[in-house]
Amino acid sequence: MKRTIGIDMDGVLADIEDHILQSYAAETGIVLSRDEIKGKSEEELFPDREMVMKICNKAGFFRNLPLMEGAVETVKKLMEDYEIYIVSAAMEFPLSLFEKREWLAEHFPFIGWRNIIFCGDKSIIDTDYLIDDHCKNLDFCKGKPLMFTAFHNVEKDHHQRVNHWNEVPDLLKRLEEEQLENLAIA
């Protein structure tokens, strides 16, 4: 049986950062750059929670997110060796459910419905790896956490970091080799 990888959507498959900054500027007139927001938590950056909810609940917000560079090519490649599950915490935004499903159908048509999970917290998701940008998910996952770099996690260092999708295949290969070595030693 293939080993399993859970993959988050926002901030991992979808490049939500720029999109949310643009929407925030349009709503509030406050223009923030990617560099300015580095190292800040989402709560520090957007203390007005209602505004974030307004932005994220707007029709089309999740449907029109741009792809993260290299995501499609790498996921396709990983599917040769792994069972890939898309695991998105979509339940907070009920309107996003259909849009996220449509987004996946457009950009990742090779991922079937059996391998898509829209959830709340991810603590009951059991995959061998979880690629996610949020420590609130990675800290409690059952498999090996891989932290995809995002503005809010650049100062965190308690998980294996991934900066770009093109790093993922080699990283997984190395981790698998290390696990085999550890098994041999044990």
In the complex with its own copies, the residue whose CB is nearer, 92 or 181, is 92
Cα of first residue to Cα of last residue in the chain, in angstroms, is 23
* Binding residues for its own copies (CB under 8 A): 4, 6, 85, 90-92, 94-95, 97-98, 101-102, 105, 112-121, 124-127, 142
Q: Is 121 labeled as catalytic in the residue annotation?
A: no
Alpha carbon 75 to chain centroid distance?
Answer: 12
Residue 15 near residue 68, CB atoms below 8 Å: yes
Rounded distance, CA 148 to CA 156, Å? 11
* Cross-strand partners of 85: 6
Alpha carbon 141 to chain centroid distance?
Answer: 14
In the complex with its own copies, the residue whose CB is nearer, 29 or 112, is 112
Amino acid at 175: L
Closest separation between CB of residue 28 and its own copies, Å? 25
Closest separation between CB of residue 129 and its own copies, Å? 12
Catalytic residue, candidates 8, 128, 132, 133: 8
Amino acid at 110: F
In the complex with its own copies, the residue whose CB is nearer, 32 or 97, is 97
Closest separation between CB of residue 43 and its own copies, Å? 17
Q: Is 10 labeled as catalytic in the residue annotation?
A: yes
In the complex with its own copies, the residue whose CB is nearer, 114 or 155, is 114
Closest separation between CB of residue 62 and its own copies, Å? 12
Residue 23 near residue 29, CB atoms below 8 Å: no
Active site residues: 8, 10
